[in-house]
């Protein structure tokens, strides 16, 4: 690991830290340390980083703004790369936008709305980065990323990078091919938008943002929706029907505002959240005979 660190620093790949607590980089404020933590400031630095990782054959993982993520209390083995500053560039054309993976999805939605471009109204209030949103086909209010993505620039496990079309991404509900079939990381995306009435677009975005504020507990540290909706049912409704709102294990609590959110009361551990997730799964299966699957990504050492 010392040789890897020395080479990374010699190549000037960006910020390099050792044993960085990932609780500082997740929206739920939970997570043990990463052995090595890197914030590259360009695609070129990311490519250099990947060359070194491949050379030393160490485990690696990419994160964005840390939403939809639960990191083990024992942290993550190997290298964690955070795509943020330096990979948050954006270019707006007449009806397209090309944007780096580290760009805030909320900020992007707001920026293009002011240009009178329609297509991302649904994203108003969705925390997280562009890269993460494309990776998991984020959506709300009847729309999702698959409706507007033209192509994504993807970094694969072997270090190669390739543009994938919308069709090649194989989108489905909160899923893309990058999660299992072709493991990879979104570095950049191009969205196809449409011209619309600026005032109407901004009003729609504000309505969506207000709805989230009124119904979801983003004033507490949380990871976003914990469970996928087992359609035609809704996870939050099932949790409420089973009278689990407000249930607490350790420092983790099922939100009283929305059943599909687990909040960190200030001292929660990943173990508390995992135990609470299992409790919800067991309860709903016992009462409803419905199997619940997590939407939040659970990573790190056991």
Catalytic-residue membership of 225: yes
- Which is it for the CA torsion 247, 210, 90, 155, positive or negative? positive
**Final residue in a domain of this structure, among 82, 104, 133:** 82
DSSP E strand stretches across the chain: 15-21, 33-39, 60-63, 69-71, 76-82, 90-92, 96-100, 117-118, 139-140, 143-144, 149-156, 161-165, 184-192, 194-195, 248-249, 252-254, 262-264, 297-299
In a domain, 190, yes or no: yes
Q: Are residues 63 and 37 in the same domain?
A: yes
Catalytic residue among 174, 188, 204, 255: 174
Number of alpha helices (DSSP H) and beta strands (DSSP E) in the chain: 8, 18
Give the pLDDT of residue 49: 92
Q: Are residues 116 and 138 in the same domain?
A: yes
**Final residue in a domain of this structure, among 82, 104, 123:** 82
Catalytic-residue membership of 295: yes
CATH number at residue 158: 3.30.465.10
In a domain, 221, yes or no: no
- The number of domains in the chain is 3
CATH number at residue 263: 3.90.78.10
**Final residue in a domain of this structure, among 163, 184, 215:** 215
- Which is it for the CA torsion 88, 69, 182, 176, positive or negative? negative
Catalytic-residue membership of 174: yes
Q: Are residues 164 and 54 in the same domain?
A: no
Which string of DSSP letters, residue by residue, matches 152-200?
Answer: EEEEETTS-EEEEEHHHHT-BTTB-TTTTTS-EEEEEEEEE-EE--HHH
Give the range of the structural domain holding residue 57, as residue numbers without chain letter: 2-82
Catalytic residue among 20, 121, 204, 295: 295
CATH number at residue 75: 3.30.43.10
In a domain, 175, yes or no: yes
d(CA 25, CA 17): 13
Q: Are residues 149 and 196 in the same domain?
A: yes
Stretch 115-133: mean pLDDT: 89
Catalytic residue among 23, 67, 124, 225: 225
In a domain, 36, yes or no: yes
In a domain, 195, yes or no: yes
pLDDT in tens, 190-244: 999 999 888 899 888 888 888 888 888 888 999 999 999 998 999 999 999 999 9
**Residue 116 banded pLDDT, cuts 50, 70, 90:** very high
pLDDT in tens, 59-114: 998 898 898 899 999 999 999 999 888 889 999 988 999 999 999 999 999 999 98
- The yes-or-no verdict on residue 280 having pLDDT over 90 is yes
DSSP E strand stretches across 86-129: 90-92, 96-100, 117-118
Q: Are residues 211 and 251 in the same domain?
A: no
This prediction's pTM: 0.87
Q: Are residues 49 and 162 in the same domain?
A: no
Let me know: does 155 contact 187? Beta carbons within 8 Å: yes
């Amino acid at each position: 690991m010392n040789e890897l660190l020395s080479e990374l620093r010699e190549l000037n790949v960006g910020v390099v830290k050792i044993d960085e607590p990932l609780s500082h980089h997740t929206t739920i404020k939970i997570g043990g340390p990463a052995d090595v933590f890197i914030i590259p400031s360009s695609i070129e630095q990311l490519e250099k980083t990947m060359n070194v990782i491949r050379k030393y054959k160490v485990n690696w993982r990419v994160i964005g703004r840390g939403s939809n993520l639960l990191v083990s209390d024992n942290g993550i083995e190997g290298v964690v790369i955070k795509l943020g500053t330096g990979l948050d560039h954006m270019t707006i054309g007449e009806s397209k936008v090309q944007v780096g993976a580290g760009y805030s999805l909320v900020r992007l939605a707001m920026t293009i709305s002011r240009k009178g471009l329609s297509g991302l109204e649904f994203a108003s209030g969705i925390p997280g980065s562009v890269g993460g949103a494309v990776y998991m086909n984020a959506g709300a209010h009847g729309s999702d990323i698959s409706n507007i993505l033209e192509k994504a620039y993807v970094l694969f496990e072997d270090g190669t990078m390739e543009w994938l079309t919308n069709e090649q991404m194989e989108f489905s509900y909160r899923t893309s091919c990058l999660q299992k079939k072709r493991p990879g990381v979104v570095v950049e995306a191009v969205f196809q938008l449409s011209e619309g009435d600026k005032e109407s677009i901004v009003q729609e975005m504000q309505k969506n943002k207000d709805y989230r504020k009124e119904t979801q507990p983003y004033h507490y540290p949380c990871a976003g929706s914990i469970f996928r909706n087992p359609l035609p049912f809704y996870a939050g409704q099932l949790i409420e029907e089973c009278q689990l709102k407000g249930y607490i294990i350790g420092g983790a609590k099922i939100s009283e505002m929305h059943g599909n959110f687990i909040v960190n009361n200030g001292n929660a551990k990943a173990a508390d959240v995992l135990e609470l997730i299992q409790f919800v799964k067991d309860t709903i299966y016992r009462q409803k005979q419905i199997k619940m699957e997590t939407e939040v990504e659970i990573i790190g050492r056991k």
